[in-house]
Amino acid sequence: MATEGKNLSEYDKNNIPNAKEFRFGIVVSEWNDNITEGLFKGAFEALRDNGVLEQNIVRWNVPGSFELVYGCKKMQETYDMFDAVIAIGSVIEGETKHFDFVCEAVSQGIKDLNVHQDIPVIFCVLTDRNMQQAIDRSGGKHGNKGTEAAIAAIKMAKLRQDARL
């Protein structure tokens, strides 16, 4: 298990770029909102903890994880002033192949946005086998993947800034 022995919420602030001037978009799936709200909280708190002003964090909701790609694309197009976008979702395996199709589409869609657009999109979509795994990674015993995604967003925003200089 990739998160075994690792706390997703831990990071060294000394290794995080100054994020005070950056703007972030966060697109949050409403499906499994008991999980996605925890992920959003982790991301929001980590951004704020690293100097991002509250008014520089914009949240949009979409119905489910499948719709994250469209929401992130529109956020990139509508607000080119964002330095990075975080896609937050939770897909929990069920009895049908729906899980496989949604996970594949979302991961490929976010990858495509990163390849074809200039604003990085951070993948914060839990793809768990059961609800307990999702709980453990959205503020539970393994920490919060939202926190980890926010730190990745800050680092990618800095990379994007440096590449433009």
d(C-alpha 37, C-alpha 60), whole Å:
12
d(C-alpha 72, C-alpha 110), whole Å:
8
d(C-alpha 65, C-alpha 113), whole Å:
15
Please tell me what DSSP assigns to residue 4: T
Nearest to 59 by CA among 51, 50, 48: 48
Asked if 116 is an active-site residue, the reply is no
Residue tagged active-site, from 98, 111, 129, 141: 98
> Catalytic residue numbers?
98
